[in-house]
Structure 1
Amino acid sequence: MIFPAIDLRAGQSVRLYQGDFKQATLINPDPVAQAQQINAAGLTHLHMVDLDGAKSGQPENYATIAAIRKAFKGTIELGGGIRTYELATRYLKLGIDRLILGSVALTDPELVKRLLAEFGGERIVIGIDGTDGYVAIKGWLEQSQTKMSTLMKAMTASGARHFIVTDVARDGTMQGPNLGLYEELQAQVPTANLIASGGIRDLTDVQVLQASGFKDVIIGKALAQGGVTLAALAEVEA
């Protein structure tokens, strides 16, 4: 599946460079219209992050997320600051198809286990971001001492199946995805479905990932900068 990305900050669609809030580029002042454009191209999956929420741990862009959910026809996965059972269930009741749990998988694994047990591995996705193989937390503002593979194994044992893996050093850089990282993690956790995120430049990168067995891909900056088009992605997914 191809997941065009919309990252929300103060109700607008932006892109960060390596997760740095000081290096934000406005993509679209109207993310609802952006989501509709994705639909119009024939794509039915959307990756969405509440950047403000990832930083604060609160639903900072809830109204915008609700408006996008109402306008977008298809599957939406959402992450960013989902650190309580109450907020997780609130988003699920809103109609969000898949929740992305990031920092909380490390800081509050019991909550993630509870959500996996209640809603299953298709609705609860684990987001693992990091550098040099170690997990970054709190909107990439802090680096932990936990290896990505260690967290993946623990979450798999709790029922997780899908893992969005982002190399922070590649995100927003247009340097290409870290295929070596994905292959290493896949070898260590063969039952996991890795969703590639970060650094993807063009259609060739997408095709290389898919040929290597990573069928699910998230694309953000390449769309914004014109390295790939929605129409081209729709053809690949078809």
Structure 2
Amino acid sequence: MIIPAFDFFEGKIVRLYKGNYLNIKYYNINLNELLLNYERQGVKFLHIVDLSGTKDVKKRQLELFKNIISYTNISIQIGGGIRTEEDINILLELGFKRIVIGSSVITNQNTVKKWLKKYGPNKIVLALDINIKNSIKKISINGWLKETNFTLEEIIDLFSSENLKYVLCTDISKDGTLLGPNFLLYKEIVKKFRHIKFQASGGISNLSDVLSLKKIGVNNIIIGRSLLEKKFTIGEALECWQNG
């Protein structure tokens, strides 16, 4: 499905360029109105990132998110600085349908395995953000500031034994650029890991990108900047996906 994305920093909708907080763009959008329109057109899921919570867990924007949940019936998955079971419980109690786990997948592997068992594969999404060098897909964490020695394939293999279902995979070099997604990456991992429902994210700039990802076999496409900047409408994206 098509999953519109919204990043929030200090209460405002923003986009970062390649994850850089020094390269931030603000958007003046009536979110309530926009989500009503999305709901009418058939959007089933949203993706929200708490950039304030990612930088500092004490600054998690819980009141803002509680407000968003109160005025939309669209299911929402949320990520950003989620590091403890308490974090997960708070967000699920607020009404979020899926929790997106990033850095902890690398730094607390056994804990994340326990979460997959406890909450089930339908509630947990692993966010694996990668830099590709010499065809090696190295995972970066901590808001993409730290590159690890773990590869994308290693981590998917590691968590597949825990019935892993959802993986949000982002090529960092593409994120926020509107330069098109890394089609080769998704083609490769969709073929290799047929049991995973991949969420493709980063670089989507036009309807042709949407169509190509659908043909590759990606289950979900997360679209942020293109929709915010009206490169195409949500209606056009949904139609493209359905008819692809």
Q: Is the 8 Å Cα contact of residues 211 and 241 (structure 2) preserved in structure 1?
A: no
CA spacing shift, 1:4–1:183, aligned 2, 3 Å: same
How far has the Cα of 1:143 moved from its partner?
A: 1.2
Residue by residue, what CA displacement relative to the aligned partner does 1:13-69 show, whole Å, maximum 9, x if unpaired?
Answer: 111100001111112355444433432433121011001112224452111111111
After TM superposition, the score normalised by the length of structure 2 is 0.92
CA spacing shift, 1:151–1:58, aligned 2, 3 Å: farther
Matched, 1:158 2:162: yes
How far has the Cα of 1:215 moved from its partner?
A: 2.9
Cα RMSD, aligned residues only: 1.6
CA spacing shift, 1:51–1:31, aligned 2, 3 Å: farther
Q: Measure, in 1, the Cα distance between the counterparts of 2:198 and 2:59.
A: 26
Aligned residue among 211, 215, 224 for 1:211:
215
CA spacing shift, 1:30–1:144, aligned 2, 3 Å: farther
Matched, 1:91 2:91: yes
Q: Is the 8 Å Cα contact of residues 198 and 220 (structure 2) preserved in structure 1?
A: yes
Q: Secondary structure at the match of 1:82?
A: coil
Q: Measure, in 1, the Cα distance between the counterparts of 2:29 and 2:221.
A: 24
Q: Measure, in 2, the Cα distance between the counterparts of 1:187 and 1:29.
A: 38
| Counterpart residue number, 1:77 | 77
Range moving further from structure 2, 114-123 or 188-197: 188-197
Aligned residues with identical type, % of pairs: 31
Matched, 1:108 2:108: yes
| Counterpart residue number, 2:206 | 202
How far has the Cα of 1:230 moved from its partner?
A: 1.5
Range moving further from structure 2, 181-190 or 154-163: 181-190
Code of the aligned partner of 2:78: L
For structure 2, the residue ranges without an aligned partner over 5 or more in a row are none
Range moving further from structure 2, 194-203 or 20-29: 20-29
Range moving further from structure 2, 139-148 or 6-15: 139-148
Q: Is the 8 Å Cα contact of residues 76 and 97 (structure 1) preserved in structure 2?
A: yes
Q: Is the 8 Å Cα contact of residues 54 and 80 (structure 1) preserved in structure 2?
A: yes
Q: Secondary structure at the match of 2:239?
A: helix
Q: Measure, in 2, the Cα distance between the counterparts of 1:222 and 1:97.
A: 24
| Counterpart residue number, 1:129 | 129
For structure 1, the residue ranges without an aligned partner over 5 or more in a row are none
After TM superposition, the score normalised by the length of structure 1 is 0.94
Q: Is the 8 Å Cα contact of residues 15 and 221 (structure 1) preserved in structure 2?
A: yes
Q: Secondary structure at the match of 1:7?
A: strand
